[in-house]
Amino acid sequence: MLERGSHQIDLARAIVGDVARVQAAASDVLLAQADGDRGDIEDAATLVLHHENGAVSTIVLAWTRAGLPGIYGVDVVATEATLQLALDPEFRLRGVSRGEQVEARATQHPFDRSIDRFLQAVREGDPSRVFCTPRDAAGTLAVANACERALASGETVAV
């Protein structure tokens, strides 16, 4: 979960909020590992995050073969919005929020922006400029660990 799911868990927590409990399931179908020895990580898994505010997030993880493009995105369906965020390499947001069309595109790669902002925080001695606080990282680690336990047990696991 940490290798393949931590960034998606971070993103779900940033958009929706803290997670109360999780469920997880993995596929026995090999994708990236189909031509070699099976490793100790699943090629595909689905995580269901039950947020403290009552919302539900679903994260689908898949490790595809070399040469196949990855699909990285977030779909948000909310009371007054339906949004689609296409991540790497597009970084484009489209949809409708409160009856208005939304369209935006990142002008800088988010990784570069995050590093630039971190370095600026260090130079200025301003920890509030860091995107991911130690509390955020600990929260994501707790969710990832709960997902690992859910995957192993097949049960819904509290975070």
Query: Position 10: which residue type?
Result: D
The dihedral sign for the CA sequence 136, 141, 146, 151 = positive
**Could you give all domains of the chain from N- to C-terminal order, each with its CATH number?**
2-106+136-158 (3.30.360.10)
Provide φ and ψ at 108, rounded to 5°: -140, 145
The pLDDT value given to residue 159: 98
Q: What CA–CA distances, in Å, run from 112 to 85, 88, 135, 141?
A: 18, 13, 22, 23
Give pTM, 2 decimals: 0.85
Each residue's pLDDT, cut to its tens digit, for the chain (159 residues) gives 767 789 999 999 999 999 999 999 988 765 555 566 665 666 788 999 999 999 999 999 887 767 777 788 999 999 999 999 999 889 999 999 999 999 999 999 988 998 999 999 999 999 888 888 889 999 999 999 999 999 999 999 999
